[in-house]
């Protein structure tokens, strides 16, 4: 089917009155922020950023060594960033899917897939062990075909997934529509062993609670302004004081980085999401969705969508935005054209739901890198490490990213730190003023490829040849 584009998307009437904030964070269960740092202090480990990466690092570091003195410095509040704004799809992959893993890390893919499965198991076990009610549902995920050319692509993907031990099933149009009823569906690939869905803010808040119980100190509304190497310490400068830390872990996602090497490899790309009011029993019956699987369509520009615990539909993705100069901030949290487009596509997908209201709209920044998966580095004589670049698939992988960053800070030689995934760096994006046109051209080329039955044009083929990719 041909889709409307952002440029010609009128503001959709279903958006009237929607709250311009993330649904997940709009909850009375949000923890009260911790007081900002107001005096100089010291720490064994200072963690910058209280998203999943920072929180998993705090919990795993304390569990490994309860005596370690840890402070978490967060510019806003826990889960303020991508961790509180995402779709809540919990997937195992550490390589942003098996196909990207094959393209970039074939030699160690078996190890990476094993570690991915262990990581997801460890994530779920942590939620259970600490009584974190993140509303995790192990539903698996379905990639749906909405264009004829996507069916053979899904067949091919299924064969590859199966050869790596995944429990995957191909569905024809009737079988797909028996599970979830959209007139746009031509078929689907159900990844039964593909993780599930959760409430991401509740994962983050739960981890924060556990970290606090383990003795981690938190300072919210504490933006770190600079880092300085000072012999056996790194000085972490904040408005209210400085932390002299033995080790520093940067877990700042797609936000402007404190180190130049991170800014070279990460492009902050905005992705937008809408959430509807809860569906009535009749509305739910009209679309089925009894298995509550996370869904995504299969174009280069794709939507991801799912039910929430109270039966709303979260619908996001498709048109990602990179703003000139890597702009990040509250002024980009809403994009009327893209949100209007998402509303239009939601009702194209489920015309049975016409009249349903949208209650929440937001945008979040994705730490896009050219290899689409987490990347690591150290500086200050390996006293500072970072784990960034999950490129839109980090709900599961952040636990692994945090673990690796801790290994690097400990100078540990582990199976993890020997991975090429950990040692190799992605190709950097060009600096501005080239970065914006290159990414914008690539986004448009992906849109054109979707319109041409998935055929990649010369620009995308050139990037493929260079091993440079763009995704969100
Ligand atoms: C719209 C959207 C949908 C997504 N959907 C999915 C999905 O369904 N499944 C999936 O697996 N992944 C998804 N992702 C990706 C996933 O959310 C991220 O990979 C993951 O949350 C990254 O966590 P993080 O802790 O590294 O970064 P973040 O959660 O962004 O945390 C970084 C934190 O650092 C803080 N910070 C930044 N700079 C400073 C500073 N100088 N001083 C102090 N604090 C600072 C920020 O305030 C922020 O809280 C999505 C992302 C977005 C934006």
Give the separation between CA 52 and CA 402, rounded to whole angstroms.
Answer: 8
pLDDT at 78 over 80: yes
CB of 318 shorter than 6 A to ligand 1 = no
CB of 270 shorter than 6 A to ligand 1 = no
Cα–ligand 1 centroid distance for 416 (angstroms): 22
Banded model confidence at residue 146, pLDDT cuts 50, 70, 90: very high
HSE toward the beta carbon, residue 432, CA cutoff 13 A: 11
CB of 302 shorter than 6 A to ligand 1 = no
Give the separation between CA 123 and CA 90, rounded to whole angstroms.
Answer: 10
Return the ligand 1 atom nearest residue 49 CA. Answer: 34
Residue 323: CB atoms within 10 Å: 17
CB of 422 shorter than 6 A to ligand 1 = no
Q: What's the average model confidence in pLDDT over 164-168?
A: 93
pLDDT at 9 over 70: no
pLDDT at 471 over 70: no
Q: Are 368 and 472 a contacting pair, CB within 8 Å?
A: yes
Q: Are 47 and 224 a contacting pair, CB within 8 Å?
A: no
Q: What's the average model confidence in pLDDT over 230-234?
A: 97
Residue 75: its pLDDT value, please?
Answer: 98
pLDDT > 70: percent of the chain: 97
**Residue of the nearest CA to atom 52 in ligand 1?**
86
Return the ligand 1 atom nearest residue 225 CA. Answer: 41
Banded model confidence at residue 36, pLDDT cuts 50, 70, 90: very high
Banded model confidence at residue 4, pLDDT cuts 50, 70, 90: low
CB of 52 shorter than 6 A to ligand 1 = yes
CB of 317 shorter than 6 A to ligand 1 = no
Cα–ligand 1 centroid distance for 181 (angstroms): 32
CB of 234 shorter than 6 A to ligand 1 = no
Tracing tokens 């704004």 back to the chain, one arrives at 85
Q: Are 316 and 271 a contacting pair, CB within 8 Å?
A: yes
Q: Are 395 and 89 a contacting pair, CB within 8 Å?
A: yes
**Residue of the nearest CA to atom 15 in ligand 1?**
392
Banded model confidence at residue 467, pLDDT cuts 50, 70, 90: confident
pLDDT at 271 over 90: yes
CB of 273 shorter than 6 A to ligand 1 = yes
Cα–ligand 1 centroid distance for 286 (angstroms): 34
Banded model confidence at residue 465, pLDDT cuts 50, 70, 90: confident
Taking the whole predicted model, whether its pTM rises above 0.85 is answered as: yes
CB of 89 shorter than 6 A to ligand 1 = yes
Give the separation between CA 109 and CA 113, rounded to whole angstroms.
Answer: 6
CB of 22 shorter than 6 A to ligand 1 = no
CB of 43 shorter than 6 A to ligand 1 = no
Q: Are 189 and 143 a contacting pair, CB within 8 Å?
A: yes
Residue 344's nearest CA partner among 334, 359, 335, 354 is: 354
Banded model confidence at residue 1, pLDDT cuts 50, 70, 90: low
Cα–ligand 1 centroid distance for 391 (angstroms): 10
Q: What's the average model confidence in pLDDT over 27-51?
A: 98
Cα–ligand 1 centroid distance for 439 (angstroms): 20
**Residue of the nearest CA to atom 12 in ligand 1?**
393
Banded model confidence at residue 468, pLDDT cuts 50, 70, 90: confident
For 1-10, 376-385, 438-447, which range has the lowest pLDDT when averaged over its residues?
1-10
**Residue of the nearest CA to atom 3 in ligand 1?**
86
* Model pLDDT for residues 411-435, shown as the tens digit of each residue: 999 999 999 999 999 999 999 999 9
CB of 97 shorter than 6 A to ligand 1 = no
Q: How many residues does the chain have?
A: 472
Three-state SS for the chain is CCCCCHHHCCCCHHHCCCECCCCCCCCCCCCCCCCCCCCCEEEEEEEECCCHHHHHHHHHHHHHCCCCCEEEECCCCCCCCHHHCCCCEECCCCCCCHHHHHHHHHHHHHHHHHHHHHHHHHHHHHHHHCCCCCCCECCCEEEEECCCCHHHHHHHHHHHHHHCCCCEEEEEHHHHHHHECCCCCCEEEEECCCCEECCHHHHHHHHHHHHHHCCCEEECCCCCCEEEEECCEEEEEECCEEEEEEEEEECCCCCCCCCHHHHHHCEEEEEEEEEECCCCHHHHHHHECCCCCEEEECCCCCEEEEECCCCCEEEEECCCECCHHHCCCHHHCCCHHHHHHHHHHHHHHCHHHCCCCEEEEEEEEEEECCCCCCEEEEECCCCEEEEECCCCCCCCHHHHHHHHHHHHHHCCCCCCCCCHHHHCCCCCCCCCCCHHHHHHHHHHHHHHHHHCCCCCCHHHHHHHHHCCCCCC
CB of 82 shorter than 6 A to ligand 1 = yes
* Model pLDDT for residues 448-458, shown as the tens digit of each residue: 999 999 899 99
Banded model confidence at residue 5, pLDDT cuts 50, 70, 90: low
Return the ligand 1 atom nearest residue 273 CA. Answer: 1
Residue 8: its pLDDT value, please?
Answer: 57
CB of 224 shorter than 6 A to ligand 1 = yes
Cα–ligand 1 centroid distance for 359 (angstroms): 22
pLDDT > 90: percent of the chain: 94
**Residue of the nearest CA to atom 18 in ligand 1?**
394
Residue 306: its pLDDT value, please?
Answer: 98
What value does the mean pLDDT of the chain take? 95
CB of 50 shorter than 6 A to ligand 1 = yes
Return the ligand 1 atom nearest residue 78 CA. Answer: 49
């Amino acid at each position: 089917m041909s889709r409307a584009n952002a440029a010609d998307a009128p503001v959709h009437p279903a958006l009237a009155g929607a709250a311009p904030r993330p649904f997940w964070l709009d909850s009375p269960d949000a923890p009260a922020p911790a007081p900002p740092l107001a005096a100089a202090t010291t720490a064994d480990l200072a963690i910058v950023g209280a998203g999943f990466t920072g929180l998993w690092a705090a919990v795993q570091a304390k569990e490994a060594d309860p005596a370690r003195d840890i402070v978490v410095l967060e510019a806003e509040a826990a889960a303020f960033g991508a961790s509180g704004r995402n779709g809540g799809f919990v997937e195992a992959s550490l390589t942003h899917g098996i196909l990207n893993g094959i393209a970039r890390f074939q030699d160690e893919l078996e190890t990476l897939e094993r570690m991915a499965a262990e990581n997801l198991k460890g994530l779920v076990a942590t939620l259970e062990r600490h009584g974190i009610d993140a509303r995790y549902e192990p539903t698996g995920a379905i990639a749906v075909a909405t264009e004829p050319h996507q069916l053979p692509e899904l067949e091919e993907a299924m064969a590859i997934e199966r050869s790596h031990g995944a429990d995957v099933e191909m569905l024809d149009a009737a079988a797909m529509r028996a599970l979830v009823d959209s007139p746009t569906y031509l078929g689907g690939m159900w990844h039964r062993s593909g993780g599930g869905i959760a409430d991401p803010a509740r994962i983050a808040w739960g981890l924060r609670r556990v970290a606090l119980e383990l003795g981690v100190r938190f300072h919210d509304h504490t933006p770190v302004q600079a880092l300085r190497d000072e012999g056996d310490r790194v000085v972490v400068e904040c408005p209210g004081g400085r932390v002299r830390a033995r080790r520093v872990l940067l877990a700042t996602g797609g936000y402007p980085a404190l180190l130049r090497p991170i800014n070279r490899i990460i492009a902050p790309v905005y992705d937008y999401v809408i959430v509807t009011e809860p569906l009535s029993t009749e509305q739910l019956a009209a679309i089925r969705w009894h298995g509550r699987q996370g869904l995504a369509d299969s174009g280069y520009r794709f939507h991801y969508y799912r039910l929430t615990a109270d039966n709303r539909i979260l619908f996001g993705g498709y048109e990602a935005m990179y703003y000139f100069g890597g702009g990040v901030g509250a002024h980009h949290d809403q994009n009327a054209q893209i949100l209007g487009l998402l509303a239009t596509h939601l009702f194209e997908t489920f015309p049975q739901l016409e009249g349903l209201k949208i209650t929440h709209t937001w945008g979040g920044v994705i730490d896009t890198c050219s290899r689409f998966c987490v990347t690591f580095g150290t500086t200050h004589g390996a006293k500072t490490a970072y784990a960034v670049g999950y490129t839109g698939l980090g709900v599961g992988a952040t636990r692994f990213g945090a673990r690796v960053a801790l290994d690097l800070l400990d100078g540990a030689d582990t199976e993890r730190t020997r991975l090429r995934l950990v040692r190799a760096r992605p190709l950097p994006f060009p600096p501005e003023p080239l970065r914006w046109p290159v990414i914008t051209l690539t986004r448009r080329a992906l849109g054109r490829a979707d319109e041409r039955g998935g055929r990649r044009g010369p620009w995308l083929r050139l990037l493929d040849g260079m091993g440079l990719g763009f995704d969100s």
